[in-house]
Amino acid sequence: MNSCISFILDQKIIQIDFSKELKLTPTTTVLNYLRSLPNHKGVKEGCAEGDCGACTVVIAERDGKNKIHYRAVNSCLILLPKLHGKWLITVENIKNSDGSLHPVQQAMVEYHGSQCGFCTSGFIMSMFALYKSLLPNTRTVIEDALTGNLCRCTGYQPIIEAAEYALQKRKPDHFSQIEKEIISNLKRIVRESIKIKTERQKYFMPVTVTELLNIKNQNPDSIIINGATDIALRITKKHEPIPSIIDTLQIEELHVIRKSPDHLYCGSAVTLNQLKDVSKDWFPAIYEACSVFGSKQIREMATIGGNLATASPIGDLPPVLAAYNTEVVIVSANDARMIPVDQFICGYRRTSLKNGEIIKGIKIPKPVNESIIKFYKVSKRKDLDISTVSAAFRLTLDKNRKINEIKIIFGGMAEMIKHAEKTEKFLLGKIWTRETIEQAMPILRSEFTPISDARSGKEFRSIAARNLLMKFYDELADT
């Protein structure tokens, strides 16, 4: 194993050997690394938890077609070893080689999109990633790309107008000219197992599932990460020294997306942005859930496996995955098994994983045509917010509108995601009418004893849950 990582910055291959580098640790964030350099002060720390976007950088890497794919991400949540084999682009790299401004920078100037400037570099990087994408120039796409960037000066309108203008004039830039050279340099960086060992920490980056399982068995107390959008907060906010980490980022088998005639399989390291894109046609409720999950910068890092393993009672993904009868694929060194999502999470921050097991992926069956599946999220704001209550419903009616199948799954109402089992039992076999739903509401109320916390009071949660059931009915009343 190697203790050295390599990546590209300023068009040069940078090597960091953690066995010799005393100022850097494997849990140093990319933000803090960049701020330690003399010529990369444009990246800023605002919140250190992925909310404000002031630390946004772009990470580029080779895709399956030997081209470069650009992603805007929060550098405050990225641990330094995750740069291995990647191209790191900061706001200092954006300007043209002759010193003139990049089109997204020039548009920001012309449309007066900056005042104090603290947030500007982050906006520029989000706009740059969008400029280098194949996404259409629409208001919806632009707003989604900028959701993870906070501005308190100009307001968003001039910034959105700047993005619209830059995308209208989109053409090859100086990055297009150097991509072949970058690809050649990225190919020189060998994808190999990495083991970083310091006085206080161990950081493993295996390249196969078999190697991952062996390392886990030898280091049972290690924390497994991929996107680390949750675990990183223990480092940036709690300043917690995590003794042993296993990073699955290099394991190609966990990044697999495979669509079969009757199901979709996604590896545990598939990001929520990838899941969003691939689910739009077959699984619109999953697409909806991912669309209001964090920001694009977060979705470009957060993974399916991480979201499930966190087992948060307010996680958005588990309820909607449960509504689609999703199964979690679990493997160990000697065995493999599959378990439904709603059985996988078995308590507050607890899963059904046994010692030596990992999440390999998920299998989502394609719904039959008559099944209706919906997802709803109640939060204080639409974007970049944690659920107060979330709900996923699955309904199948016969030709006489009798309920042949009903699933009602809530997040935020108990110590884990939970079915409204008594309500489901009451509704099954009944005729789908408003009167039936009204009769079910007292039963639903009696099933949960939500808590009050910083996001909401328990009574609000109880009312919201019942209202979501009625909303589900109202939206389907004319179908």
Q: What is the pLDDT of residue 152?
A: 82
Query: What six digits make up the tokens of 341?
Result: 């999502």
Q: In 10 A of CB 433, how many CB atoms?
A: 12
Q: What is the CATH number of domain 256-476?
A: 3.30.465.10
Q: In 10 A of CB 46, how many CB atoms?
A: 16
Residues 431/401, Cβ–Cβ less than 8 Å: yes
CA distances (Å), origin 206, targets 85, 250, 315, 439, 464: 14, 7, 28, 54, 45
Rounded to an integer, what distance in angstroms lies between the CA atom of residue 296 and that of residue 31?
18
Q: What is the pLDDT of residue 479?
A: 62
Superfamily of domain 103-172: [2Fe-2S]-binding domain (1.10.150.120)
The one-digit pLDDT tens for each residue of the chain (479 residues) are 688 999 999 999 999 999 888 799 999 999 999 999 999 999 999 999 999 999 999 999 998 888 999 999 999 999 999 999 999 999 999 999 888 999 999 999 999 999 999 999 999 999 999 999 999 999 999 999 999 999 888 889 999 999 999 999 899 999 999 999 999 999 999 889 999 999 899 999 999 999 999 999 999 999 999 999 999 999 999 999 899 999 999 999 999 999 999 999 999 999 999 999 999 999 999 999 999 999 999 999 999 999 999 999 998 899 999 999 999 999 999 999 999 999 999 999 999 999 999 999 999 999 987 899 999 999 998 888 889 999 999 999 999 999 999 999 999 999 999 999 999 999 999 999 999 999 999 999 999 999 999 889 999 999 999 999 999 999 998 66
Q: What is the pLDDT of residue 312?
A: 93
pTM check: above 0.85 = yes
Residue located via tokens 């080779």: 62
Rounded to an integer, what distance in angstroms lies between the CA atom of residue 412 and that of residue 197?
39
Cβ-in-10-Å burial (0-12, 13-18, 19+) of 427 comes to: buried
Q: Which CATH number fits domain 4-92+176-247: 3.10.20.30, 2.70.70.10, 3.40.50.150, 3.40.50.2300?
A: 3.10.20.30
Residue extents of the structural domains in the chain? 4-92+176-247, 103-172, 256-476
Q: What is the pLDDT of residue 1?
A: 62
Rounded to an integer, what distance in angstroms lies between the CA atom of residue 368 and that of residue 472?
19
Rounded to an integer, what distance in angstroms lies between the CA atom of residue 399 and that of residue 325?
23
Rounded to an integer, what distance in angstroms lies between the CA atom of residue 51 and that of residue 64?
31
Q: What is the pLDDT of residue 2?
A: 84
Q: What is the pLDDT of residue 478?
A: 66
Rounded to an integer, what distance in angstroms lies between the CA atom of residue 271 and that of residue 248?
12
Rounded to an integer, what distance in angstroms lies between the CA atom of residue 3 and that of residue 89?
23
In 3D, which of 187, 174, 132 has the Cα closest to residue 13?
187
Q: In 10 A of CB 141, how many CB atoms?
A: 16
Residue located via tokens 């790299």: 93
Rounded to an integer, what distance in angstroms lies between the CA atom of residue 329 and that of residue 69?
28
